[in-house]
Structures are given as C-alpha cells and as structure tokens.
A and B are shown apart, each in its own frame.
Chain A
Amino acid sequence: MGIGQSFILAIKSLLNNKMRAFLTMLGIIIGVGSVILIMSLGNGVTTEISDTFESMGTRTVSVTLMGRGSNRTFTDDEMYEFAEENSDVIKAVTPTVNVSATVRPERWNENLSTSITGVGEDWLTVKTYETARGRFISYMDIYARNKVCFVGAYFDSPEVYNGNAVGSTLKINGDVYTIIGVAEEITDASDEDGSDNFAVIPYTVAARLSRMGNINSYTLISVSDETVNAAKQRMSNRLYENYGDEDAYAVIALAEILDTVTEIMDTLVTVIAAIAAISLLVGGIGIMNIMLVSVTERTREIGIRKALGAKRRDIKSQFVIEAMTTSLIGGVFGILLGVFGARIAGKLMNMPAVPSLSSIVLSVGISVGIGVLFGYLPAKKASELNPIDALHHD
C-alpha cells in the first residue's frame, strides 16, 4: 500500500472523529506554538540588542580608568599621544565625561531629560554622526573651555527650537551655553526619549562641571572591524605599562560585548525552548495513547485487512502514518499559533518578533518525528495481531 493511500486514509480517520483528533493534537499544537513563539521573541530581543550595539558602533572600544591601587595617572594628553602613535589601528579618540546636569532651553520653565556628555573634538568621528547645521566643538573650544554645546536633532525639532537651534542657548546647571551645531537625525528627532535628545560640551568644561580632576573615561574608534582587537590589545598594554595593575583600568570592545550578549541570549532561548519542547513530549504521549485506543477499537478492521492480504508492514505503516499525520497537522496548527502569537507579542512589546525559517522547519521535523516515534509502538502492536482473533473481536 502506498504512502499516499495511507495518508488519505489517515486524514479520513481523523475527520471521522474531529473532536478526538483536535484534543490529541492539542499537545503538539501548544508545544510547537510555544517553541516558535519563544524562538521568535528570542530572535527579536537579540536583533534589537545587536541593532542597539551596532548603532553604537562595533568598532568602538571604551576605556575606563579607575586608577585603583596605583599612584600613577594617565592624562588626556597621554591618551591623545597614544592614539597618534597607533593611528594604524586607532582612527580617533575622545574623552567621554558623563555629566548629570539639568538642561533647560531658553524661556522654558521645565527641564529636559537630555543626556550631557563632555567630549573631545573627534567625538563625531568616533560616533560616526554627521553635522546637520552649524559646526562641531573645536579644539579651541576645548582649550579655552568655551561654554558651547553641540546638540541632537531633537533640539531642532518643533518640540524645541524648530530649526532655530543654532545660535540659541541652553541652560545647563544654570549656566548659559550657546548651541553651535546640530547633528543629523539618528532615529526619531521628535522623540524626547530617543537617541536624538543629547547635548555634548567640551570635555574640559564637563570635567570642571562635575568637579573631576582627571578624565577617566574615553571612547576609541578603530580603523576597521578587523583592527578592533589590535586597538584593544595595544590600549591594554599601554595602560598596564602605566599602572602596573590590571585592575586599574578596563578596556572593552563593544563587539565583544555584543558577541557575549548574543551568546547568552542564544543559550537562554535554547533552554527556554527546550523546556517548551517538553510539552511536545507530552503531546507525543497523548498521540501514543489515542493510537493505542484506536488500535483496540479497530482490531476487527485490522483482522479484515490481514485476512485480505495485508502484511505486517502494511498495517504498521498505516498506523505510523496516521500518528504522523496527526502530529504533522498538529504541528502546522502549532506553527500558525506560534507565528500569530509572535506577531501579537512583538507588537505588544514593540519589537520585531519574527519566527526564523529554521525554527519552523525544526518544528515540522520534530512533530513528524514525534508521530513516528510515538506511533510506532501502537502500530507494532496492531501489526502483530493474530488475524483469527482480530476477526472475532467485537
């Protein structure tokens, strides 16, 4: 008997008992659905994280100086010198002094949630941002500690200065700073919580603002993706020379963090999906159970088929294919459930939860496999029935 024939027979037998078929499939539907949902959400989170990292630049290396356990210091001049010497791997460097300060546009009564950073004149290069209007902070501004600032596109949006940002002023911690330039829009200029709401000031000004004697945080950008590791290594070596203590500094490549995060996410998703896959096992047992019932119910049919010349393998394949069809159809419904669920969840969580083709192929494979695996025992039982006994079964 051909596989096609068995398949049609299996579909018929499922249609004969729709409720039972549905309940049998439910385990597989839920199992496959949840595996796909979890893998989609995992993909979504991983994609979002790596997008964030990539927007920060995968060529970026961040350097933090703690100075702990050492009397030595490492000045901004030394850092610039180091970058100069290693220009084959380091494209640019900038101090990054995070300042917690209030920001208020002219004639406003409330503060903005703008992040303020003190930076060097190469910050734009490091960040790979572009200037839309005006100019960026110059070496002179840094040297002379001018109270100027360069702002994100948010300040030029209708929310704040509506195109007139350059030449306007901002009050930072009560002091007046002149806006000398505006960056190109990065993500969404009108979003106060987005990446376009920032202001950078000369790092010398920022250091004074945060009462910091020395600059202890830098961001480097490497010449290319391939030179990131070399840049990181040379930076570490130079700092070790300086401090003689590995705990006195931290040199971290963003690409490295991204790899680690992606790895962790992948492991996490795999573990959770594996837990969800346990329900597939339960679903498989459900199929086995119902197939055993079905074999008992159809003992007479099996007897007739055997009397008419069905061989053991004919009977076996009939029941295995029936179990496989049940779990395959369950798997298809599960995929629909998973894909649909992922869409809804993705919308609710505002991220791209796209099921990967591989997770779908895997689910189909697993559900077919479960059908064969758990259908085999009942099928074997059916095939070994004695035709005489089976014929006299009521």
Chain B
Amino acid sequence: MAKNQNSIQHGDDLIVFDNIYKIYEMGDTEVRAADGISFSVKRGEFVAIVGQSGSGKSTCMNIIGALDVPTSGEYYLDGVDVSTLNDNKLADIRNKMLGFIFQQYNLIPKLTVLENVELPLLYAGVPKRKRREAALKSLERVGLTEKAKNLPSQLSGGQQQRVSIARALAGNPSVILADEPTGALDSRTGREVLEFLQQLHSEGNTIVLITHDNSIAVKAQRIIRLQDGKVVYDGPSNVPEALVNPDIPIELQKNEAGGDA
C-alpha cells in the first residue's frame, strides 16, 4: 500500500484512507475498530469491503459515509479532508457527495416513494419543481415511475430497495455507498439489485459495497478484506486469494464462495 502522507493531490483517487484509526475506550480496555487502515479508490471503481462482523467494515463504512470521523488518520473524499469536519459540514458532504443504500432500505414510511426520493434534494435546497423532476428521473432509472405516489409499505422488498437506490442516485453523488444492500432480500431480488449496481458501475459511477458475504463481494471489481481493523487483502476480485480468510480453512471457503456465485 502506498502512503501519500505528504500529498493532497491524489490524482484519480476519489477516496483516500490514510492510516485511519478508530479507537473506542470501553472502561479500561481499548477497542481498535480501525487499526491503521489505508487504501484508495479511484473514480469509477466498484469496490467491495468485506469482513466478518467485528472486522471494522462498519466503522469503515461510517467513516466513508461521513457519518463518523476517525480518531486519527486522514480521509479525503474528492480532495476534501473529511476527517476534521464539523457536524454541519459532514451533513453537507453526505448530502452532496454520497448516496446511501442500506440493508433495511430506510425509507420514511409516511412519505410517498417520490417524497422519499426527493429527500436528499430537499436538504440540498433544490427548488420544488426541479426536485420533483430529478426525483422522477431517478425513479425512472430504477423502473418505478408508476409507484411514485405509493407509500413504501405498499411495495415489495425489492421495489423498496430500488426506491432507496433511486434516492441514492437523485443527488448525483460522487460515491454510491451500499451497506449489505441484498441482506434483506431473497436471492433472486438480491441478484437483480446487484446487477443494477453493476449497471451503474458500467455507466461510470463509483460504488463502494460493504458486505460480509463473499458471493456478493465477487460482483465487485476489487475486494478490500478487513480483519480485526486491518486490511488483509486488497486486490482484484477474480483471483482465489481474494476470497481467502486466513482464519478459515481454504477448502471450506472455496465451497462457500462457489456455492452461491
């Protein structure tokens, strides 16, 4: 891993994690959720961050998503040092540069599909008519224009996830951050969502996918594997080493990966 400690110019790098630590004090013990993580993601890449629970992938996702700041280290998003920003600036970054796709969809139940998709634009201060236009266009991309007036509860799980993708796309973010996007879906709908993410990638979007599931991670171009807060693998997804978890016998892992992929 190259360390760019002295450089703020990162070329094509959209995301730069430079020696990121996240340390929680729990009584006398210290939990290192991120223990010196460094990597960078180029514009247009499709990266999966993989790891078991406790590996630090959620911490990574929170920091990338500007929901949290690291204890130390620097995080640059499109050249902006996000690691030192205050609450309001972080909200701005989330609003303008990031599109979230959550496992639980996280749609607001009492708002219509269209209103849900409009939310990021609302907080960006986009005027009403433009907001509506952009939200409808976004819904069209996921093929749910006719459900615009429905409430989320009237939609299937897969449709709800597509709405949340539409919401993530509405603000034209630099990075789409998908946290276990198929976790709550059956395998067929899950596959559809992944195919859609791949399509978005092929259209030039930068996608960061967070998952514990190898079979999903392999849909990405590149895998960053985390364990105990450290990067244990960072490379292409189409080589056997990408799926190796040093703690589990290789044979078992191959079966696991092969079973679903």
Contacts and interface: CB of A to CB of B under 8 A. Distances in A.
A387 interface: yes
B106 A300 contact: yes
Interface stretch (B1-9, B39-47, B49-57, B90-98): B90-98
B108 interface: yes
A309 B168 CA distance: 11
A305 B123 contact: yes
Nearest to B87: A312
A310 interface: yes
Interface stretch (B62-70, B195-203, B210-218, B232-240): B62-70
A303 B107 CA distance: 11
Interface in A291-328: 300-301, 303-312, 314
Interface in B193-231: none
A314 B123 contact: yes
B95 A388 contact: no
Nearest to B102: A391
B110 A309 contact: no
Q: Is the interface of A mostly helix, strand, loop or mixed?
A: helix
A178 to B, nearest CB: 87
B165 interface: no
Contact of A388 (B62, B91, B92, B107): B62
B94 A309 contact: yes
B11 to A, nearest CB: 27
B91 A310 contact: yes
Nearest to B97: A309
Contacts of A1: 122-123
A16 interface: yes
A283 to B, nearest CB: 25
Contacts of A308: 94-95, 100, 119-120, 123, 167
Contacts of A312: 87-88, 91
Interface string B73-85: 0000000000000
Given A12-B110, A13-B110, A307 B123 contact: no
A114 B103 CA distance: 91
B253 to A, nearest CB: 29
B246 to A, nearest CB: 29
A5 interface: yes
Nearest to B100: A307
A309 B67 CA distance: 10
Interface in A343-361: none
B250 interface: no
A69 to B, nearest CB: 82
B124 interface: yes
Contact size class for B?
A: 20 to 34
Contact of A309 (B95, B102, B106, B107): B95
Residue among A12, A307, A308, A314 having the largest count of chain B Cβ atoms under 10 Å: A308
A52 to B, nearest CB: 58
A306 B91 contact: yes
Interface string A26-59: 0000000000000000000000000000000000
Interface string B177-189: 0000000000000
Given A308-B120, A314-B123, A387 B67 contact: yes
A13 B111 CA distance: 10
Contacts of B107: 304
Nearest to A301: B108
Nearest to A298: B108
B122 A5 contact: yes
A217 to B, nearest CB: 76
Interface in A380-394: 387-388, 391
B65 A307 contact: yes
Contacts of B120: 308-309
A6 to B, nearest CB: 10
A12 B68 CA distance: 32
Contacts of B122: 1, 5
Nearest to B62: A388
B62 A305 contact: no
Contacts of A391: 67, 102, 106
Interface in A10-34: 12-13, 16
A312 B167 CA distance: 21
Nearest to B107: A304
B82 to A, nearest CB: 14
A5 to B, nearest CB: 7
A391 B62 CA distance: 11
Nearest to A391: B106
Contacts of A309: 91-92, 94-96, 120, 123-124, 171
Contacts of A305: 108, 119, 123
A306 B102 CA distance: 14
Contacts of B67: 307, 387-388, 391
Given A5-B122, A391-B102, A311 B91 contact: yes
A309 B173 CA distance: 12
B110 A16 contact: yes
Nearest to A13: B110
Contacts of B106: 300, 303-304, 307, 391
B73 to A, nearest CB: 18
Interface of A: 1, 5, 12-13, 16, 300-301, 303-312, 314, 387-388, 391
Counting from the closest, the 4 A-B pairs by CB-CB distance are A309-B95, A309-B123, A311-B91, A308-B120
13 contacts: A1-B122, A13-B110, A300-B106, A301-B108, A303-B106, A304-B107, A307-B67, A308-B95, A311-B88, A311-B123, A312-B88, A388-B62, A388-B68
Interface of B: 62, 65, 67-68, 87-88, 91-92, 94-96, 100, 102, 106-108, 110, 119-120, 122-124, 167, 171
Given A304-B106, A304-B108, 14 more contacts: A5-B122, A13-B110, A301-B108, A304-B119, A307-B65, A307-B106, A308-B95, A309-B120, A309-B171, A310-B91, A311-B91, A311-B92, A312-B88, A391-B106
